[in-house]
Structure 1
C-alpha cells in the first residue's frame, strides 16, 4: 500500500465523518456502503454518552466534525510532505489512549497507519465506543488495513514502539514499563490565554470556546488567564455568558457547587458569574468550573514566566501568539501534542 493510497483512504474517512452534523457537502450522501457504519456509529455515540457522563452528543459531533475538516487532500498533503516513510520498515506501534475527550487518541491512530506501520490500540474505558467503528469503516474501504489494526483490553503484547498518554503519575509508570522501547510518553499539560484588556467582544466570545468546549477537560482547553494589573473582568463575563447552559449538566453543576463551597470555606477571594469561578492562582490545572488567573506587570516578565513553565503548557492563546482566540479545539494535523513530532518519531523507529 503506497502513501498516496493511504492518504486517499483517510480522505474517505473524512468524508464519512462529515455525514455527522451540519458540515456535510451536498455531494456526500449516505450510501448503501456507508449506511451500516453511519447507523452503527450513531448508536455508539448514544452508548458513549450513556457510559461517560462527560460526553454529550454535541461534543462528540463537534469532534467528528473537526476530524472531517482535517482529513482533506490539501491538509494531508501539507502534513505528510516533510516525511519519507520506508515501505519495508513496518513496525507495530502500541498506543495507550486517554479518555478525557471524545476520540482524543485519533491523531496517534491515523499517524501510525498513514506512516505505514501497524497499530495496537489500548483504549481508555472512558472512550472505547467510537474508534472501533471508524476503524471498521477504514477496513471496509481498504481491506489491507485488516491485519494492521488490532484493539486489545489485555496487557500489551508484542510491539516495537509505544505512544502513551496519561497523567504525570501514570507517565512515571509508562516510563518504567516501556523503558526498553522507543516511546512518546505524554504527561499533564494545560493551556493558557493572555489578555491585554484590548480584546474585542468577538475575541472574548471565541475564548469561551477555548475554555468550555468538552467542559474544559482537554489539554488544549484554556484553564488559566494571564491578565494585566487592574484588569476588569466585566467584559469577559459578559462575553462568555452564552455558556451558562453548562449548568444543565449535573456533573458540571456538582463540580461548580463543590469547588465554590471549598474555596469559600477556605476564605479564598473569588470572582464568579453563577457558572464559572475565577480564582487568582499561580497553578495551571484549574478544577472543572474554575478558571485560574494571574496578573502580570509587563510583557517581558510574562514571557519569562511562560518560558519557565513551557513543559507544562500545551497552547498559549492570544492576539500575539501562535494560537488565536477560539482556535484551541481546531488543531491542524501538524500541530502535535506536547510539541513532539509524532510522524518524525514514526519515521525513525
Structure 2
C-alpha cells in the first residue's frame, strides 16, 4: 500500500463520515453516550465534523507531501489514547497509518465505541489496513515507539514505563482567549463555542480569558446565554454546584450566570463549569503572561496577534496543527 493509496483511503473515510445520515449519527451518539455520559450526540457530531474538516484529499496531500516517506521502514507504534472528548485519539491514529507504520492503540475505556466504528469503516474502504491496526485494552506490547496522551500525573508514569522507546508524551493543556474590548457580540457568542463545546473538557477549550482592565464582563456573559443548556447535563450541573459551594464556603468572589462561574484568577486551567479571567494593561504584560504559561497552552484564541485562532474555531484545527506543537509526522518519519 503506497502513500497515495493511504491518502485516498482516509479521504474516502472523510467522505463517508461526512455523508452519515442524521439517524446514523444520532445512533452513534447514543451508543457513545451510553459508554461515556459526557459524549452527548451533539458532541459526537461536533467531533465528526472536526475530523471531516481535515479528512479531505487536497488537505491530506498538502500535509504529507512536506515529508519524505519513501524510505520509511514500517514500525509498530503504540498509541495510548485519551478519552476526554470523542475521538480525541483519531489524529494520532491518522498520523501513524498515513506515514506507513502499523498501530497498536490502547483505547481509553471512555472512547471505545467511536474508535472501533471509524476503524471498521477504514478497513472496509481499504482492507490492507486490517493487518496494520490493533485496538486493545491491554498494556502495549511488541512496539517500537510510543505516542501517549494523559494527565500530568500519568505522563510521569508513561515517561518511566516507556523510557526505552522513542516517544511523544503529552500532558494536560488548555487554551486561552485574548479579548480587547472591541469584539462584536457575534464574536463573543462565537467565543462561547470555544468555552462550552465538549463541556470544556478538551485541551483546545478556552478556560482562561485575558481581558483589558476596563472590559465589560456583563456584556460577555449576556452573549453566552445561548449556551445555558449545558447546565441541563447532570454531570456538568454537579460540577457547577460543587464549584459554587466551594467558592461560597471560602468566600471567594465570582460572577454567576446560573450555568458558568467566572473567577478573577491567575491560574490557567479552570475546573469544569468555571472560567478564569485576568486583566492586563499592556501588550508586553500580555506577552509575558502567555510566555509564563507557554507549556500549558494548546492554542490562543482571538482576533489579533498574538492570538492565532479566530473566535469559534478552536475545535476545528487543520490536520497539520499538532497537539503541543510537536510534529508527530516528523517523529514518525525519523524512526
Q: Shorter-chain TM-score category?
A: over 0.9
- Give 1:19 shift: 2.1
Is 1:183 equivalent to 2:180 in the alignment? Answer: no
- Cα contact 2:108–2:137 (8 A) shared by 1: no
Matches of 2:222 and 2:153, distance apart in 1 = 38
The aligned residue for residue 10 of structure 1 is: 10
Could you give the per-residue CA deviations for residues 208-246 of structure 1, whole angstroms, max 9, x where no partner exists? 000000000000000010111132212101111100011
| Distance of aligned partners of 1:197 and 1:42 in 2 relative to their CA distance in 1, 3 Å threshold | closer
Matches of 2:181 and 2:270, distance apart in 1 = 22
- Give 1:159 shift: 0.4
- Give 1:347 shift: 0.6
Question: If the length of structure 1 is used for normalisation, what is the TM-score?
Answer: 0.93
| Distance of aligned partners of 1:273 and 1:141 in 2 relative to their CA distance in 1, 3 Å threshold | same
Question: If the length of structure 2 is used for normalisation, what is the TM-score?
Answer: 0.96
Could you give the per-residue CA deviations for residues 141-177 of structure 1, whole angstroms, max 9, x where no partner exists? 2111111000111121100000000000000000000
Q: Secondary structure at the match of 2:50?
A: helix
Could you give the per-residue CA deviations for residues 159-211 of structure 1, whole angstroms, max 9, x where no partner exists? 00000000000000000001110100000111000111111111101100000
The aligned residue for residue 77 of structure 2 is: 93
Paired residue for 1:328, among 304, 310, 314? Answer: 314
Matches of 2:278 and 2:293, distance apart in 1 = 14
Matches of 1:205 and 1:179, distance apart in 2 = 45
The aligned residue for residue 106 of structure 1 is: 90
Q: Secondary structure at the match of 2:131?
A: coil
Is 1:193 equivalent to 2:177 in the alignment? Answer: yes
The aligned residue for residue 254 of structure 1 is: 238
The aligned residue for residue 119 of structure 2 is: 135
Could you give the per-residue CA deviations for residues 263-290 of structure 1, whole angstroms, max 9, x where no partner exists? 0110011111111100011111111110
- Give 1:88 shift: 5.1
Matches of 2:29 and 2:184, distance apart in 1 = 36
Matches of 2:333 and 2:34, distance apart in 1 = 39
- Give 1:90 shift: 0.3
Count of residues paired in the alignment = 333
The aligned residue for residue 255 of structure 2 is: 271
Matches of 1:305 and 1:252, distance apart in 2 = 29
Unaligned runs of 5+ in 2: none
The aligned residue for residue 53 of structure 2 is: 69
1:208-287 equivalent positions in 2, closer than 5 A: 208-287=192-271
Matches of 1:88 and 1:303, distance apart in 2 = 40
- Cα contact 2:13–2:125 (8 A) shared by 1: no
- Cα contact 1:20–1:64 (8 A) shared by 2: no
Matches of 2:265 and 2:204, distance apart in 1 = 19
Paired residue for 2:131, among 124, 143, 147? Answer: 147
Is 1:347 equivalent to 2:333 in the alignment? Answer: yes
The aligned residue for residue 202 of structure 1 is: 186
The aligned residue for residue 108 of structure 2 is: 124
Q: CA RMSD in A?
A: 1.4
